[in-house]
Amino acid sequence: MVAQKSYILMDSDPNKLDNQPFIELNTSFAKQGLRVPKILLFSESKGLILLEDLGGEHLADRLSSDSRYQDYREILALLPNIAHTPVSAYMKPYDADFIAMEMDIFWQWLIVEWLKLENEQLPKQQWQTMKSLLVEAMTSQPQVTMHRDFHSRNIMRTQGQWALIDYQDAVQGPVTYDAVSLLRDCYFNLPSEEFTRLRLHSFEILKEADLLSGMSYEQYCYYFDLTGLQRHLKAAGIFCRLLLRDNKAGYLNNIMPTLQYIEDVANCYEPFQWLATWLRHDIMPKVEAKLSCSTR
C-alpha cells in the first residue's frame, strides 16, 4: 500500500497581495539553514502556491508541556541565523517613519475608532514625545534581519525540527525585536522566573553571535523593554483594526493582556509612567466595559 502524502495549497489573490516576498524570502531563509515550508509549485498569475505540509503542531500547542523551557531555548538558538539572513530587495524599509506609523495604529484604531475618545481628552503631546523616544531606542540598536512575527503561532515542530511560517514581512530592524516577539508573546504569558532566564539566554546567544556590538545586559534589557512597548502598542491597535475593518473578533481577548504588558513595562521607566497611569485609570476600564458589552 502506497503511503499518501498531503500538501498545502495557498490561495493568495495577486490583485490584493504581492506574493513575491513570500517566495523570495523563503529562499533567503532556507539558505541560512532555517526550516521553512518547501515551495513545490507557484503560479504567479493565479496566486496559487503549493507547499509541503509541515503538520499541525505549533509551539502554541506545546506551551503546557514539560518541554516548554527547552523548546524556547532551542527556538532562541535560531535568532543568529535569522539575524544574519542577507538583506533582500523584498524587505520593506523599517525606518523611523514606519515605526512611528505602527504606533499610530494603536491611536487610530483603539483610541479613536473603537473607544471613540475625543481629541481634547487625549494626551497628544505626551504621545508624540513617547513615539520619539521609542523610535530612537529601536533605531539605535544594531539593525539585523528579523522575522517580525516570531511568536508561538508562527513556529512549528516538524520531524524533530523547528520551522518558521508567516515570514513574508521580514525586515531589517532592531536586534531585540524577535526575542521580544517570542518571549513577550501577545498570546501567551511566560511565568516571570522562566521569562527572566530565557531573556538572559537570548542575550547570551546574540552576544556569542557578535550581534550586540558590545551591548551590556542592562542596555539589552532596556532596548528589549522599549521594543516590546512599541510592538504591543501596535498589536493592540491591530486587534481592534481586525475587528472594525476586517470583521474578525477572534483577537478581542488578547487586548487586555497586551495592554497589561504595556502598563507593566511603562511603570518601570519614568518617561513612560504617564502612559501606565493613562492606561490604568482611563483606557483599560473603557476597554473592559466595551468587552463586557460584547459589541463593537
> What are the pLDDT digits (tens) for 13-26?
888 888 898 999 99
How far, in Å, CA of 147 to CA of 176, rounded? 11
13 lies in some domain: no
How far, in Å, CA of 276 to CA of 269, rounded? 10
Contact 169, 66 (CB under 8 A): no
pLDDT confidence of residue 210: 97
6 lies in some domain: no
Give backbone dihedrals phi and psi of 251, rounded to 5 degrees, phi first. -105, 5
20 lies in some domain: no
Contact 154, 165 (CB under 8 A): yes
280 lies in some domain: yes
User: What grid cell was written down for 216?
Assistant: 551590556
In this predicted model, what pLDDT tens digit does every residue of 114-157 receive, in sequence order? Answer: 999 987 779 999 999 999 999 999 999 999 999 999 999 999 99
164 lies in some domain: yes
Integer Rg of the chain from CA: 20
pLDDT confidence of residue 294: 60
Domain count, the chain: 1
pLDDT confidence of residue 296: 54
Q: What is the DSSP letter of 23?
A: H
51 lies in some domain: no
Range of the domain at 81: 58-293
The CATH number of the domain holding residue 138 is: 3.90.1200.10
pTM of the model: 0.93
283 lies in some domain: yes
Amino acid at the residue 229: L
pLDDT confidence of residue 88: 93
The pLDDT averaged over each successive group of 10 residues in the chain (296 residues) is 74 86 93 94 88 92 96 98 95 95 97 90 94 98 97 95 95 98 96 97 98 97 98 97 93 95 97 97 95 72
